Structure 1
Amino acid sequence: MLRITVYGGAGQIGGNQVLVEDGSVRWFFDFGIPFHQWSKFYEEYLQPRRTYGLLDFLALGLVPPVQGIYRPDLEQHPLVARDFPGRPTVEVEGVLLTHAHLDHSGYISLLRRDIPVYTTPTTAFMAKAIQDTGQSDIEREVVYFTPLRQNPEGLLEGDRESHALQRPFRFALGPLPAGDALAFWHKLPLAKKPLEVAPPQAAQGIGGRPLRCWPVDHSIPGACAWAVETSAGWVAFTGDLRWHGAAAHYTRRFIEDLASLRPRVLLCEGTRATPGPHLVHTEEDVAQRALEHLRSVRGGLVFADFGPRNIERLLIFWRIAREVGRSLVILPQDAYLLEALHTLDASLPLPDPGRGVRLYADPKVAPRTWERELRRRYASALVSPEEVHQEQEAFILCFSLLDVNDLPTLRPRPGSVYLYSSHEAFDEAGYLDFERLLNWLGHFQMRPVGVPRRDPATGRWAIPPGEEGLHASGHAPGPHLIEMVRQARPRTLLLVHAEPGAYAYFTEHLSGTGIEVRMPVPGETLEFA
């Protein structure tokens, strides 16, 4: 009997935690942070307490209420056993990870070290680069972690004497890393901390079940879809996908292959499965519209704000920078990520003045080890805030709201342009961020382009006319998803990464096809013969 339990991603966007059981073989599709639930309780300065291990995560319903899958060190606190006794034991063969966004990958951090992570090399390298350059955080230990120890008071704390432990990864869609790539994979950003490595292996099946993996188009490189052949037939998971980016052909090939499998169950994202209008801006549309705006800039700085780790968008602005006679200035985290991916794909640019890529080097009292080493490797590409100020017409800076506190140092000339090429706000906090950004831009007499503004009369936020089309979503619109499902023709469509309204949308547009549409309830187990 095939059983599927959607713990995360049921009736909400993101946070996928999907347990699949086929007889004695079990695995998860993704194991991400459910930000919809998380943000009810937490924000940037209010976080789960590491000292209590799993307690906060279980108490607030952020992870499945089971045992057998979590790190033993996080189970140590006595309140975990006291408050959550008798949790059912689950043993899994691995996690099939679709991409590196934290709402899909983040809570792998909490899993036992011996649970392998199946994914693409690009996704794995992105996850490591994100962890290497991020703050030490129990929710960000996807690739490696240092076990915690229990102090005399029962609280969990770091153990300086422990080695860091690397998780076992199983790579699909590419050769196993070698040379510089393998060296990056087995290196910690803190040279003094020993790492107990786990050499990556090829993904050749899971629990004896045949396994298929396809690259798909998304807003982050390395994204993939999965399918596993079970006793009831093929079970497939789309992950997040689209076909209006540079990798659109990958998604189309996935749909063709999926149709040939005639899946018993298709777990499908439904992020944009809503009633119209369904505007589709392609990445090439973004490139053309951004170029039109930036060609009109006469002097002054240009800032390009796009999603972190959106390498496709970064490459677009690199191309635009060369067309308008400027250099692209990237932040250290972006350079570190590019360097990591360069070991897999040598076509990606690295900081190099000759290629029009510079590395922003703002003065810091104590840069972290990885950043000091990065600045040393690319010393010839460094550009300081004062150099940027002196030659404002020479640069496009890849900044976001989190970086605008450098504006007093950069001193942009009045009329400098801030081009926003990222997602819309998802909640009130997002609109407050836009308001704060506009305050910064107004103070320095900068011109926003593509930044939503609030209509004083209605209170609604919208991008002004003439500034639309500077962002392409990482998700397929509803009509595209319907087209995919009709072509794949699964017996059952199970909606994940979708709000409740997606059920009515799919039910209406798949009427008469014979495809059963189901919206899972969090934690409810569904059975399929």
Structure 2
Amino acid sequence: MVKLRFFSGIEGEVGGNQILLEDGETKILLDFGINFGRWRSFFSFPLSRPRGVEDYFRVGLIPKELRDRETGLVGGVDACIITHPHSDHYAGICALPSGENAIPVYLGQATHRILKAKLESRRSAEAKAMAQLDFKTYRTGDRLQIGDVEIRPWHVDHSTPGAYVLIIHTTGGTIVYTGDFRLHGSFGKKLTQKGDQFWQKLEGEEIQALICEATNFGEPVNPISEEEVERLMHKCVEACRGLVIVNTSTSDVDRLRTICRVAKETQRQVIATKYFWPVLEALQEDEKLNAPKPKVDVIPYEEAVDEIKKRQSDYILLTSFYREKEILEVEPVPGSYFILSSSEPFEEEGEIEFSRLKNWLNLFGVPIYHVHTSGHAFPMHLMQVIEALSPKLLYPVHTEAPQALARMAESLPGVCAVLPEKGVEYRL
């Protein structure tokens, strides 16, 4: 008997995916993230952090049903598989045991490099616990045999390298778990053109269940490609007479490549704050990723801050997390631009931080441009994938509006959408 239980990332939650797959005696966690909306309801960074794993269980960030009474950690699970290196999909692994009772954690090679770099740059108890785990890496083409279950990871495009969909062969049929993915990024378009997308590879195979992210349902979405982001960013940078400040994700290599190309075309040098360096340096080990080269394509902010102040029109400054520290140090001259090249804040704490940043930018007379495309599939592309796979069961996850995807899927013959509830057992 094959069973699915969803503990987080459902019922209107974006992120924090925690899915338990059971096939006979085999139990596997499909992602084990933390929902940071709930995290911020009880904690704040850096002053009020969890005191230990106990707090994660106490406030419901990690399900008590999975807790082993003797160790106080997650138990009774054969393996955990992480689809990509975003913390809303992996941060819960701090509650997994290491040492003799270790639960193996499978993750892509690029994800392992990124996660290792992040953990080495942090001092928290959670980071130290994660660093001791039993990591096992995979790539596309591997077949992971865990008990009665065989899992084939397949590469997909997302706003970070190392993202995979999981094609899961169980005794009850094939389950596909998308993790987070998109078709409109540069890599996604190449995969589609080559016929190398997971849904193209599964043509003709009967799919029992599709666990599908639907982040872009329920909110307005601007359906532009990464190529269009580059064109718009080039237009902004070319028109700017002062410093260009770009706020973007530290692990979005696609976007970092875009920014470096624009910098070269407009004869500027890219400068990045310290938060970008662990990931950039870690990704140099994989030449296929073609990540920007540290100290060649991108220069450390600390080494260039004095030069930036003297010749602001020669530089693009990369920042992240709506930080204003470097902006205050540099004091952008009139004619400078700020480009928000990431999602707008979606929770109260982020809105407060962004509001504070906007106040400083307004004080300096710096206009704000939003040049971004989502790391998640557009609704029209989700329907394309669902129609191609034609699953018997569809489970929407990672979305504020699961009912919207379920309603839209009613137009597809033979697809039954199920809105998962926390902790409920679903049998295939």
Q: TM-score, normalised by structure 2?
A: 0.91
Cα gap change, 1:449 to 1:512, in 2 (>3 Å)? closer
Q: Does the residue aligned with 2:198 lie in a helix, a strand or coil?
A: helix
Cα separation, 1, equivalents of 2:68 and 2:105 = 13
Shift of residue 349 of structure 1?
Answer: 3.0
Amino acid at match of 2:232: R
Q: Which runs of 5+ in 2 are unaligned?
A: none
Q: Which runs of 5+ in 1 are unaligned?
A: 76-88, 145-164, 175-201, 362-381, 451-469
Cα gap change, 1:27 to 1:297, in 2 (>3 Å)? same
Which residue of structure 2 lines up, in the alignment, with residue 476 of structure 1? Answer: 377
Which residue of structure 2 lines up, in the alignment, with residue 272 of structure 1? Answer: 216
Cα separation, 2, equivalents of 1:356 and 1:168 = 31
Which residue of structure 1 lines up, in the alignment, with residue 256 of structure 2? Answer: 314
Which residue of structure 1 lines up, in the alignment, with residue 59 of structure 2? Answer: 60
Cα separation, 1, equivalents of 2:85 and 2:350 = 22
Per-residue CA deviation, residues 62-96 of structure 1 (Å, 9 max, x unaligned), is 11113466993x55xxxxxxxxxxxxx95222111
Which residue of structure 1 lines up, in the alignment, with residue 287 of structure 2? Answer: 345
Cα separation, 2, equivalents of 1:505 and 1:204 = 30
Structure 1 vs Structure 2: percent identity of aligned residues?
31
Cα separation, 1, equivalents of 2:404 and 2:272 = 43
Q: Note if contact 1:287-1:316 (Cα within 8 Å) is conserved in structure 2.
A: yes
Cα separation, 2, equivalents of 1:255 and 1:208 = 24
Q: Does the residue aligned with 2:359 lie in a helix, a strand or coil?
A: helix
Which residue of structure 2 lines up, in the alignment, with residue 241 of structure 1? Answer: 181
Q: Note if contact 1:273-1:481 (Cα within 8 Å) is conserved in structure 2.
A: no
Q: Does the residue aligned with 2:394 lie in a helix, a strand or coil?
A: strand
- Whether 2:4 is the aligned partner of 1:4: answer yes
Amino acid at match of 1:488: L
Cα separation, 2, equivalents of 1:70 and 1:280 = 48
Q: Note if contact 2:149-2:171 (Cα within 8 Å) is conserved in structure 1.
A: no
Shift of residue 56 of structure 1?
Answer: 1.8
Cα separation, 2, equivalents of 1:70 and 1:215 = 37
Per-residue CA deviation, residues 134-186 of structure 1 (Å, 9 max, x unaligned), is 3x223445741xxxxxxxxxxxxxxxxxxxx3423232238xxxxxxxxxxxx
- Whether 2:12 is the aligned partner of 1:92: answer no
CA RMSD after TM alignment: 2.3
Q: Note if contact 1:326-1:395 (Cα within 8 Å) is conserved in structure 2.
A: yes
Which residue of structure 2 lines up, in the alignment, with residue 84 of structure 1? Answer: none
Which residue of structure 2 lines up, in the alignment, with residue 522 of structure 1? Answer: 422
Cα separation, 1, equivalents of 2:321 and 2:66 = 40
Amino acid at match of 1:486: E
Cα separation, 2, equivalents of 1:334 and 1:431 = 22
Per-residue CA deviation, residues 317-358 of structure 1 (Å, 9 max, x unaligned), is 111001110111122332231121111227333223xx4431
Q: Note if contact 1:6-1:18 (Cα within 8 Å) is conserved in structure 2.
A: yes
Amino acid at match of 2:124: D
Amino acid at match of 2:38: Q
- Whether 2:204 is the aligned partner of 1:260: answer yes
Cα gap change, 1:58 to 1:173, in 2 (>3 Å)? same
Larger Rg: 1
Q: Does the residue aligned with 2:157 lie in a helix, a strand or coil?
A: coil
- Whether 2:217 is the aligned partner of 1:250: answer no
Cα gap change, 1:409 to 1:57, in 2 (>3 Å)? closer
How many residues align? The count is 419
Shift of residue 48 of structure 1?
Answer: 4.5
Matches within 5 A, 1:161-176: 165-173=132-140
- Whether 2:363 is the aligned partner of 1:443: answer yes
Cα separation, 2, equivalents of 1:358 and 1:54 = 38
Cα separation, 1, equivalents of 2:154 and 2:405 = 26
Which residue of structure 2 lines up, in the alignment, with residue 28 of structure 1? Answer: 29
Which residue of structure 2 lines up, in the alignment, with residue 82 of structure 1? Answer: none
Matches within 5 A, 1:409-424: 409-424=329-344
Q: Note if contact 2:75-2:96 (Cα within 8 Å) is conserved in structure 1.
A: no
Shift of residue 301 of structure 1?
Answer: 1.2
Cα separation, 2, equivalents of 1:71 and 1:56 = 17
